[in-house]
Chains A and B, each alone.
Chain A
Amino acid sequence: MAEEVKVFRSWGSPFSYRVELALRLKGVAYEYIEEDLSNKSTLLLEYNPVHKKVPVLLHHGKPIAESLLILEYIEETWQENPILPKDPRERAVARFWCRFLDDKVSEMFALWMSCWTEGETQQNFMEQAKECLHLLEEELKGKKFFGGDSIGMVDIAASSIAHWLGVLEEVAGISLLDEEKYPNLCKWTEEFLKSDAVMECLPKRANLLALFQTRKQAISSVK
């Protein structure tokens, strides 16, 4: 029943992508509602009054916000193709890396800030970004995915590295995900992008490129 599950999303957002990917991996049919983030719908503001952001998952009319929390809810509600291990300690490790990704790798930090800044500020962020990539590289050692043999919650949380990062690097004219320095991460990206579920709802690279180029211009003109 597709009408039971709805996702408020923005097509280019790696956060709403996480939710769509998790639903597809579990074979859950859903409807999405595209949000214009510069003109948010009354519904979105009603369903996420505290943060007023996408993604929001609506299940049986009840809203859940915050992408990582939505992933936990999806895992607990639909048991097919688990994205978290059963063992409490392994679950704690997976949650740790999801948190790390949102702290150090997400929008306002390291990888992203490297791409939106310039000069010395950019250099500082790039250094931090490289440290983060290094930690993720180590965590991947001996594994096909962060989740082991199959895509798990950490892999889903790290989607932005597999697809958005390359676009940002191009827009900013920098290189962060160096194949020589991060062979595990690069191999992981290849494997990740082989998945049907991953590819089905990934935003087109050309569209992301245009979006980020526009944004870069807007930021430069705002200074």
Chain B
Amino acid sequence: MKAVVLLDFWASPFGQRCRIALAEKGVEYEYREENILGAKSPLLLKSNPVYKKIPVLIHDGKPVCESLIIVQYIDEAWPDRAPLLPADPYARAQARFWADFVDMKVRSPYADASHEFDSCSSLRIATNNCAQPVCSQHPLTLFFMYQFFEYGSRLWKLKGEAQAAAKEEFILILKLLEGELGAKKYFGGDAFGFVDIALAPFVSWFYSYETCAGFSIEEAAPKVAAWGKRCMDRKSVANAVSHPDKIYEMVGVLKKKFGVE
């Protein structure tokens, strides 16, 4: 086993974040494909016993889990080159905030209702959502639940009114990102950094989102669209992320599997 191993899945935007970070730092590593739609490897189960998910970075035999934590680790373990986070603590806090924002809108279906300490209505929303059984054992369902249950995925998972509502929510998220990006080349400023790495893999999904929900990201958020193209010009990103056509193909497969037509 090489000194640096990445347990990953080809289409995972979370794994791609790690691949981009490793490439930016020029770190050689062994890529290991996990068949997350089938049985998980003993190495994965041993390395991430809590979540049993990719990506996992194994450095000198020791695992690091959770994509944004892995990216920060990569930055700290190879501090002598290509800093991924700015030096100033306030700028770092802002970078972490926006990367977290991307994650929040991606990771949790209860994102808006969560962490509100004093809201009875949000508790009710969450309770109603939680009342549905979540514990299907089918690996595809688990994959679906954990990796794709997000605002973007609602664009192709839902239909009719629900999809229209999801589209409005998603456009709001895009506009927030548009505002944060502003006139900057990257979210980090002149230098490609943490927030860019967090969001770049999702650029491959733009085509699928647009086609399924019938809207244009270029229209809704022209700066983000332009930023996406700039990211694709970087070798580290181009080599890591999936081709939009391949993602669209996979979305088609998933839609069929879940009877969404």
> Are A106 and B100 neighbours in the complex by a CB distance under 8 Å?
no
Q: Which B residues are in CB contact (< 8 Å) with A93?
A: 64
In the complex, whether A42 has a CB less than 8 A from a CB of chain B is no
Q: Counting CB contacts under 8 A, is B120 at the interface?
A: yes
- Chain B nearest Cβ from A59, distance in angstroms: 8
Instruction: Establish whether residues A73 and B50, one from each chain, have CB atoms under 8 Å apart when the complex forms.
Output: no
Pair A73/B89 contact, Cβ less than 8 Å: yes
Q: Is the CB of B69 within 8 A of A37?
A: no
> A15: which B residues are within 8 A, CB to CB?
115, 117
Shortest distance between the CB of B30 and any CB in chain A (Å): 18
Shortest Cβ gap from A173 to chain B (Å): 18
Other-chain residue from B89, B120, B124 in contact with A77 (beta carbon distance below 8 A): B89
Binds A, one of B126-134, B150-158, B182-190: B126-134
Residues of B within 8 Å of A, CB-based: how many?
Answer: 40
Tell me which of B72-80, B198-206, B228-236, B253-261 binds A.
B72-80
Chain B nearest CB, measured from A220 CB (Å): 10
With known contacts A92-B73, A222-B124, A12–B117 Cβ distance under 8 A: yes
Interface of B is mostly: helix
**Across the interface, do B76 and A116 meet the contact criterion of CB distance under 8 Å?**
no
Interface string of B116-143 (1 = CB under 8 A from A): 1111110110110011000100000000
| Interface size class of chain A, counting residues whose CB lies under 8 Å from the partner chain | 35 or more
- Alpha-carbon separation in the docked complex, A93 to B130 (Å): 29
* A175 interfacial contact with B, CB 8 Å: no
Task: State A108–B120 Cα separation when bound (angstroms).
Answer: 12
Query: Could you tell me if B113 and A92 are in contact, using CB atoms closer than 8 angstroms?
Result: no
* Chain-B contact segment, one of A60-68, A147-155, A177-185, A194-202: A60-68
Interface hits, A55-107 → B, CB 8 Å: 59, 62, 64-66, 69-70, 72-73, 76-77, 88-89, 91-93, 95-96, 99-100, 102-103, 106-107
Cross-chain contact of A54 among B65, B70, B117 (Cβ < 8 A):
B117
Contact B117 A218 (CB under 8 A): no
The answer to whether A64 and B97 have CB atoms under 8 Å apart is yes
**A106, B114: Cβ atoms closer than 8 Å:** yes
B residues with a Cβ closer than 8 A to A are 50, 59, 62, 64-66, 69-70, 72-73, 76-77, 89-90, 92-94, 96-97, 100-101, 108, 110, 113-121, 123-124, 126-127, 130-131, 135, 176
For the complex of A and B, list the 8 residue pairs with the smallest distance between their C-beta atoms, beginning with the closest: A37-B118, A88-B76, A76-B89, A108-B114, A92-B73, A13-B117, A73-B93, A92-B64
A residues apposed to B, CB below 8 Å: 10, 12-15, 37-38, 50-51, 53-54, 59, 62, 64-66, 69-70, 72-73, 76-77, 88-89, 91-93, 95-96, 99-100, 102-103, 106-108, 113, 116-117, 121, 124-125, 135, 215, 218-219, 222-223
